[in-house]
Amino acid sequence: TQLLEQSPQFLSIQEGENLTVYCNSSSVFSSLQWYRQEPGEGPVLLVTVVTGGEVKKLKRLTFQFGDARKDSSLHITAAQPGDTGLYLCAGATPGGYQKVTFGTGTKLQVIP
């Protein structure tokens, strides 16, 4: 079983601050995704990264896939209250079946 460890587990910051969330594994993934989940809803995809070293930007969010495709980071610049939620990384295993393993999650609270 592949494990994806996320850190930190909880993060409470003031509006306007920057933050970074990490997703680490000892396994290699063919791709890695980041999802955001709001209370009472299912996760919603933010981004997919597929190439080692790849960097993708989504407005104030920057995602990076590690060179060895075992880890990833999510950096948020000038956090807003609307960024509040549970952030989940998810790795897809190489091979024919698209089996996705989810990380433990990072719960972010942005205080106005």
Partner 1 sequence: NAGVTQTPKFRILKIGQSMTLQCTQDMNHNYMYWYRQDPGMGLKLIYYSVGAGITDKGEVPNGYNVSRSTTEDFPLRLELAAPSQTSVYFCASSYTPAGRNTGELFFGEGSRLTVL
Q: Where on the chain is the footprint of partner 1 (CB under 8 A)?
A: 1, 4, 6, 9, 30-31, 33, 35, 40-45, 48, 50, 88, 90, 92-105, 107
- Structure token pair of residue 68: 């060895």
> Do 32 and 48 form a contact (C-beta atoms < 8 A)?
yes
Stated length of the chain: 112
Of 44 and 111, CB closest to partner 1: 44
CB of 1 to partner 1, least distance (A): 6
H or E element, residue 111: strand 106-111
CB of 3 to partner 1, least distance (A): 10
Report the C-alpha gap between 108 and 87 in whole angstroms. 7
CB of 12 to partner 1, least distance (A): 14
- Structure token pair of residue 1: 């079983």
